[in-house]
């Protein structure tokens, strides 16, 4: 994408074009530039013929050197920790992913690079090639068990009968271990053995088998919504799994909030415990649909982006360039209280949404600490004219911090809950089941009842933390020249 990079010309013109999206709040254009995701890195294999002294093919050397220069110029201009960059050497060329990683600050757990931009773009638009479920992995006595967090509607997983809370003990008849579970999970077609945990024996009984095959799906993140009667009060419950941009999904969000408004809902429970982030515009939409009407009508500040010194100079030409405001979507439900169900899996755009509403309404967090990811990134790719040198690479460096209207940011340990309760995935409670400890706690708080929510069942399972570089905990802005679309 970036063959050359000049702050005063190319960078500034990009930001001027992006400003129109923020000002007009046009979702179709904006979402092309405001994205989020989290995916792994793929290596390019180099040739060994006609090598120079460092073992790199001359053609590869020239290609890598050009790409490396581009990567370095991008990071030198916009990387949040650009002051930590080493000096660039013209006499060395490394594979782009290796070079990119060598430049990152030790505090950076999130920046990454991919060599399949086209596939990445489809995933970020909410149309991935997948079996259609979200897993959580647990270590149990040296073995790995996979528990299903949720299943997308009309996906291969749902059609095969996979449900939230199902425990996968084997894939293709092979038990998972810490060494092989990633490889087994990555299979595009496999037979899953669903087990039932026997707490008395500590063993798994094989209950059934299902065969799944990945397909291109519509991963609508609004996986569940309902209205619960709490002492005669209508309370909305909404499960949202990812801030993916897709016009159809956005319309679904709006219709859900319309139903809440028509039912007179003033207390809303938003379940974000498995939502690792996504597109900032979708967070802006949800905040605008939730906030008190006067906040939306006044177009109050929702969030601010904080940059390095280089980008701050550009931004200061017009502070509105990277200022998020509440906007009238036509679907504001004018809520009074919002209760967020959170966990370690709640990150990035989810945290942006929570903190954005804090200055304007009663916000309570129920569950455990969130991830604590208050930084985001730009996507640099070949789609901007003049920057085709990256080929199919997409470079995603951390470029900004997110803060709410009061300047609140830097919550490294995550957002702390007002009411602590652990998630209970092993019991298999479906969304909306009032026995779910987190939902039960929220209902108790809203109803003014003694806080007697059912405790999560004790079990010997240890959560396997996901690698930050491949988990879906990113807040991303994609700079593209698609203003005319």
pLDDT tens digits for range 315-356: 788 888 889 999 999 999 999 999 999 999 999 999 999 999
What pLDDT is attached to residue 451?
Answer: 66
**Does 444 map to a domain?**
yes
What pLDDT is attached to residue 35?
Answer: 37
**Collapsing DSSP states into helix, strand and coil, what is residue 244?**
coil
Examine the pLDDT at 390 and tell me if it is beyond 80: no
Q: In this structure, are 204 and 228 located in the same domain? A: no
**Does 468 map to a domain?**
no
Structure-model confidence comparison of residues 114 and 465, the more confident one: 114
Greatest alpha-carbon span in the chain: 79
Residues 62-72: pLDDT tens digits? 777 778 888 89
Q: In this structure, are 247 and 345 located in the same domain? A: yes
What pLDDT is attached to residue 484?
Answer: 22
Task: Please give the average per-residue pLDDT across 179-185, as a whole number.
Answer: 93
**Residue 292, domain extent:** 222-374+404-456
Examine the pLDDT at 265 and tell me if it is beyond 70: yes
Find where tokens 């660039």 sit.
88
Examine the pLDDT at 461 and tell me if it is beyond 90: no
What pLDDT is attached to residue 399?
Answer: 93
Task: Please give the average per-residue pLDDT across 95-124, as a whole number.
Answer: 88
419/245 Cα distance (integer angstroms): 31
pTM: 0.82
Q: What is the CATH number of the domain that holds 443?
A: 3.90.226.10
**Collapsing DSSP states into helix, strand and coil, what is residue 212?**
strand
What pLDDT is attached to residue 37?
Answer: 30
**Does 465 map to a domain?**
no
Q: In this structure, are 270 and 418 located in the same domain? A: yes
Residues 399-445: pLDDT tens digits? 999 999 999 999 999 999 999 999 988 888 999 999 999 999 999 99
DSSP line for 429-456: PPTT-TTSHHHHHHHHHHHT----PPPP
CA atoms within 13 A on the CB side of 344: 10
Which of the residue ranges 122-126, 344-348, 394-398 would you say has the lowest mean pLDDT?
A: 122-126
**Does 181 map to a domain?**
yes
465/166 Cα distance (integer angstroms): 19
Per the structure, the count of domains in the chain is 2
Using CA atoms, how far residue 53 sits from 58, 62, 89, 95, 145, in Å, is 10, 14, 16, 16, 48
Q: In this structure, are 425 and 451 located in the same domain? A: yes
Q: In this structure, are 138 and 239 located in the same domain? A: no
Q: In this structure, are 341 and 231 located in the same domain? A: yes
What pLDDT is attached to residue 117?
Answer: 79
Q: In this structure, are 200 and 259 located in the same domain? A: no
Contact 380, 117 (CB under 8 A): no
- DSSP one-letter code for 10: I
Q: In this structure, are 181 and 265 located in the same domain? A: no
Q: In this structure, are 174 and 232 located in the same domain? A: no
Helices (H) and strands (E) in the chain, counts: 13, 23
Contact 103, 71 (CB under 8 A): yes
When pLDDT is cut at 50, 70 and 90, the band that residue 31 belongs to is very low
Neighbouring residues of 198: CB distance < 8 A, sequence distance ≥ 6: 204, 205
222 torsion bin: left (phi>0), alpha (psi -120 to 50), beta (else): beta
When pLDDT is cut at 50, 70 and 90, the band that residue 459 belongs to is low
**Collapsing DSSP states into helix, strand and coil, what is residue 474?**
coil
Q: What percent of the chain has pLDDT over 90?
A: 59
Task: Please give the average per-residue pLDDT across 258-271, as a whole number.
Answer: 98
Q: In this structure, are 418 and 349 located in the same domain? A: yes
Q: In this structure, are 196 and 315 located in the same domain? A: no
Q: Which two tokens stand for residue 458?
A: 């004790």
Q: In this structure, are 193 and 276 located in the same domain? A: no
**Does 478 map to a domain?**
no
Q: Which of 216, 231, 262 is the last residue of a domain?
A: 216
Strand partners, 270: 238, 340
What pLDDT is attached to residue 316?
Answer: 82
């Amino acid at each position: 994408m970036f063959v050359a990079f000049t702050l005063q010309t190319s960078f500034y013109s990009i930001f001027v074009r992006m400003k129109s999206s923020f000002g007009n709040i046009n979702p179709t254009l904006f979402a092309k530039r405001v994205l989020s995701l989290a995916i792994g890195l793929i290596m390019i294999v180099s040739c060994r013929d006609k090598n120079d002294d460092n073992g790199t093919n001359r053609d590869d050397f020239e290609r890598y050197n050009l790409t490396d220069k581009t990567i370095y110029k991008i990071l030198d201009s916009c990387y949040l920790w650009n002051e930590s960059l080493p000096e660039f050497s013209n006499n060395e060329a490394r594979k782009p992913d290796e070079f990119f990683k060598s430049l990152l600050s030790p505090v950076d757990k999130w920046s990454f690079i991919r060599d399949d931009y086209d596939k990445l773009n489809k995933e970020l638009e909410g149309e991935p090639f997948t079996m259609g479920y979200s897993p959580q992995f647990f270590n149990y006595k040296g073995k790995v068990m996979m528990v299903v967090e949720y299943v997308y509607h009309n996906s291969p997983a749902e059609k095969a009968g996979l449900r939230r809370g199902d425990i996968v003990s084997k894939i293709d008849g092979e038990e998972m271990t810490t060494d092989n579970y990633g490889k087994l999970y990555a299979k595009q077609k496999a037979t899953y053995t669903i087990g039932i945990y026997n707490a008395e024996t500590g063993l798994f009984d094989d209950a059934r088998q299902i065969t799944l095959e990945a397909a291109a799906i519509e991963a609508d993140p609004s996986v569940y919504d309902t209205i619960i009667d709490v002492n005669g009060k209508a309370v909305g419950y909404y499960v949202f799994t990812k801030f993916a941009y897709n016009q159809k999904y956005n319309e679904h969000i709006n219709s859900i909030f319309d139903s809440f408004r028509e039912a007179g809902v003033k207390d809303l429970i938003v379940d974000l415990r498995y939502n690792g982030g996504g597109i900032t515009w979708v967070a802006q939409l949800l905040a605008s649909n939730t906030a008190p009407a006067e906040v939306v009508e006044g177009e109050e500040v929702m969030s601010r982006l904080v940059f390095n010194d280089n980008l701050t100079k550009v931004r200061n030409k017009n502070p509105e360039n990277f200022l998020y405001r509440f906007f009238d979507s036509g679907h504001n439900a004018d809520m009074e209280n919002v209760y967020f169900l959170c966990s370690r899996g709640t990150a990035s755009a989810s945290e942006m949404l929570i903190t954005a509403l804090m200055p304007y309404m009663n916000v309570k967090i129920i569950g455990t600490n969130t991830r604590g990811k208050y930084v985001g990134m730009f996507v640099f790719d070949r789609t901007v004219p003049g920057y085709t040198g990256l080929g199919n690479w997409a470079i995603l460096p951390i470029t900004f911090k997110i803060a709410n209207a009061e300047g609140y940011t830097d919550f490294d340990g995550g957002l702390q809950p007002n009411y602590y309760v652990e998630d209970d995935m092993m019991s298999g409670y479906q969304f909306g089941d009032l026995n779910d400890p987190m939902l039960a706690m929220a209902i108790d708080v809203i109803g003014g009842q003694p806080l007697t929510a059912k405790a999560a069942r004790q079990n010997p399972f240890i959560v396997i933390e996901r690698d930050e570089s491949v988990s879906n905990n990113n807040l991303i802005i994609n700079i593209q020249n698609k203003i005319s679309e």
